[in-house]
Structure 1
Amino acid sequence: MDAVEQNSPLGLSSEDEDSELSDGELQEAFVKGLLKPGLNVAQQEAKKTVNNVEGLKQCLVEFQKNLPWAERLDLVNLPAADIVAKAEGKETPQDGQAVSADDDFQREIFFYRQAQEAVLEALPRLQKLKIATKRPEDYFAEMAKTDQHMQKIRKKLILKQTAMERSEKAKRLREQRKYGKKVQTEVLQKRQKEKKAMMSAVKKYQKGMTDKLDFLDGDLGKEKKGAGITKKATNKGPNAKRKFKDQKFGFGGKKRGSKWNTKDSHNDVSGFKAKLAHGKEGKKLRKGGKQKPKKRPGKETRRKMKSR
């Protein structure tokens, strides 16, 4: 007991060391210099690994069973040859090209071709063992889930598909509305631009800045210009109808106020006839001093008189 107490750094027994020390005892030990660095660090022992090869082999022999291949159906084979890739002259993973684990498509194709090769190898062996490889027509397999459960799943899938179709339809309608508004805005802007250009051409024509009347053709003139056919290229001058109207009614000049009286027209009385103004000219009396009754004017003349 005394030897244990002397070996202890604090002069305490092993039982006292296991118990918690008070703050006062720790302070006294620190003053005496009994505390050393590293006493409170827990040291972990290295983990011992055991590689019992003989025991593992014995366990393998105990649970291993030598079953025939028809019961195991295990195959270890490379993927089938990619006929399409060979025809195109491309390299396949079987020819030495490594399969990328990050490429999902290439990895799935590798699994698919490996399954193909397994089927091509297994079918002849099964036929040789006289094992049927096709399911009979009257074969009914029991499902793991009930029909009611599958109906619920089907309803959920249909609802989900319907919701997705509605969402896509609403999205298409929104896009069509946006496109329709855009087209409508472009058409209105185009019309305003054409109207502005036409009003500008009319003002120029009224002011005598130009003598062209291409703006009266409207869309027809634009189509001709767009097709490379202009009015100057087809007609060098106005047509016969336009010439006749110009000759008959005149062309150009001021139209408004042409019948207004001016100072010169007001002072010019050379064309005034008193008899004609007072209605005395042309009166003829019959025998007996009576005036001859006027003949009724024709229908066209009466219509013109009313329109005055």
Structure 2
Amino acid sequence: MEATEHDSQFGLSSEEKDSELSDGELQLAFTKGLLKPGLNVAQQEPKATVNNTEGLKQCLMEFQRNLPWIERLDLSNRPAVDIVAKAEGTLTVLDTEDINAEDDFQRELYFYRQAQAAVLEALPRLQRLKIATKRPEDYFAEMAKTDQHMQKIRKKLIMKRTAMEKSEKAKILREQRKYGKKVQIEVLQKRQKEKKAMISAVKKYQKGMTDKLDFLDIDQKKGKNEASMTKVPMNKKGPNAKRKFKDQKFGFGGKKRGSKWNTKESHNDVSGFKAKVAHGKGGKKFGREGKQKPNKRPGKDTRRRMKNSSR
């Protein structure tokens, strides 16, 4: 009754009543002096440990087997000596055994040197026991994974590599297309700009705002440049026969003006004069203009009759 009156007095719920230690019970224990101020922790007795040495020795004797070394192949040795450091008379960290376990390089080097020492000790012992230590050339070792599984892995790797190569090629093509489009846009913009400039210049000329026709010269020069760029150069070793004849007849290079004028010596030189050719009395017949008359071609009917008669 006192507990229920106390619970109703402090307004405790049914869940708090069912708990192991409710607030009301703790307050009652505190008022009675059962609880001390501070952290109250339940004290547990320490677990008793039994050091049964005889039992452990007996268990060790039960599973211990005196097997030969060839069946165990166990070695307990120190790391191999660094020959270079020994010759120089210096000591390394591994020789002093002052190794930092947190240093990955020192730790791995210690394992490596210890494995070297184990090999140097084990190989002579195996050779004395006449046990082969080299693998024969025709040795077949069964792999942990089957050939079919490795073939699948190989195919996947090849597919992955080909996919990467295709993606790289596609990337290069996309970049080339972007660059080509960019150049094309720049060329079109340049043409539109030149066209606008030409139209504005023509309008100014039509309105009488300017009397210069420089824009026509620019357009012609542009056309010539484009034609020269599109023209395929021909591989010529030298000038042709016609060019050589004209060069021989008229000359080339140097001073042009007045180079073919008559001089006193050329005027008095008549060694190349031929009267027959000059007056048209030679063997060849010349017309009024001094040209040889061409052979007159027979008419169409005449040629047809000649053709029929030859048949």
Aligning the two structures, in what range does the TM-score lie when normalised by the shorter sequence?
A: 0.3 to 0.5
TM-score normalised per structure 2: 0.39
TM-score normalised per structure 1: 0.39
